[in-house]
Amino acid sequence: MSESALTIRGLHYSYGAHHVVDGIDLDAAPGSILGVLGPNGAGKSTTISLAVGTRAPDAGRVEIFGHDPHREHETTSQLAGVMLQDGGLPMSAKPLQVLRHLASLYSDPVPVDELAEPLGLHEFSTRTIRRLSGGQKQRVALAAALIGRPRLVFLDEPCAGLDPQAREVVHDFIRDLAAGGVTVVLTTHDLAEAEELADEVVVIDRGRIIAQGAPEELRNASPAGRRLEIRVAEGLATAPQTDQDRARLLSAMDAVAPTSATGSSLIVDGELDSHQIARLCTLVAEAGLTITDIDMHSQSLADVFFELTGRPLR
């Protein structure tokens, strides 16, 4: 039996000539939260479908606690729960009816009330799924993923459409699951959520993993791990300096550390000591610009994500 809750090796899947999943390797340790990030169409949802065995890979191997989800579905489906992005709930049924039915498909289900209570499902239990808000449907779908008492759970955008309170409840739930030894594979577009919850993050783009590690590691591994932002009173393009003055300022700052200018900010990437920061501020002041704010911060996971995948819409 494998030590890993989820093991993926050399996974490939294509739609015709389009390689949606192109050689993914992945491990999730028991009790960990693995964040899966990537732009739309990156191959995240297909990877989850392959991982839970609803699709057969073209090549490669998936193991859930050492079992092949495609060949040993009856076993792996009792070890892994899935919350799909589109909910997967029958529209004409009521939330607790759906959960009771799903519970009847497992040999050792969680009592429905143990999930309905903390997720607040009783508030709308008399309405059919069709009549629930997006956030309410998300909460039912989360309960559906957990009803079989899984040891590994795939959550595809669990907080999409949730208000801040419900979001906090779901985040607490996810933390408690991991604390209790359940492995969580969390697919999300919300980079702050991944940063807050995940022990490890993988960034998938064009079917490949392009970055992997703890959020802190990814931020530190970025060429611009820390960033100094000096904001000035006027936009740089309209400041009362000539183009030559501006070029001279940027050149002088560049000599201290790599600098770029955008809008009314001068941005300096990299680790800076206090002398360098003082020198940079002096250069700006000597150039006749009025400093309104100085901000030194670490790059967020979002900065790293954009750096890796680019900003243009796909």
Partner 1 sequence: MTEKPAMTGTPATTQSPAVTNSPALRTKRISAQVRFETVSVLRNGEQLLLSLILPLGMLVFLAKTPLLDALGAIPHGGDPLIVALPGALSLCLASTAFTGQAIATAFDRRYGVLRQLATTPLGTSGLILGKLGAVIAVIIIQFALAFAIAAVLGFTGPVDVLALVCATLLGTAALLSLGLLMAGTVRAEATLAGANLIWVLMAGAGGLVIAHPGEWGTLVGYLPSGALGEAMRAALDGAGFDVKAMIVLLLWGLLGTLAARRWFRFE
Cβ(63)–Cβ(51) below 8 Å: no
Cβ(210)–Cβ(203) below 8 Å: yes
Contact stretch for partner 1 (CB under 8 A) within 18-26, 116-124, 230-238, 300-308: 116-124
Query: Which residue's CB is nearer to partner 1, number 75 or number 265?
Result: 75
40 interacts with partner 1 by CB under 8 A: no
Which of 23, 29, 68, 75 is the binder for partner 1 (CB under 8 A)? 75
Helix (H, G, I), strand (E, B) or coil at 187: strand
- Nearest-CA neighbor of 188 among 218, 158, 153? 158
User: What is the DSSP-derived secondary structure letter of residue 88?
Assistant: -
Query: Which residue's CB is nearer to partner 1, number 186 or number 228?
Result: 186
Please count the residues of this chain forming the interface with partner 1, following the rule CB under 8 A.
Answer: 61
Cα dist from 11 to 28, 43, 290, whole Å: 15, 11, 55
Which of 181, 235, 288, 310 is the binder for partner 1 (CB under 8 A)? 181
Cβ(177)–Cβ(184) below 8 Å: yes
Query: Which residue's CB is nearer to partner 1, number 161 or number 225?
Result: 161
Cβ(245)–Cβ(252) below 8 Å: no
Residue 108 in tokens: 């050792």
Q: Provide the mask over 138-167, with x wherever binding to partner 1 is found by CB under 8 A and - wherever it is not.
A: -x----x-x-xxxx-x---------x-xx-
Footprint on this chain of partner 1 (rule: CB under 8 A): 49, 52-54, 73-75, 77-82, 84-93, 101-102, 104-108, 110-111, 114-115, 117-120, 123, 135, 139, 144, 146, 148-151, 153, 163, 165-166, 168-169, 172-173, 176-177, 179-182
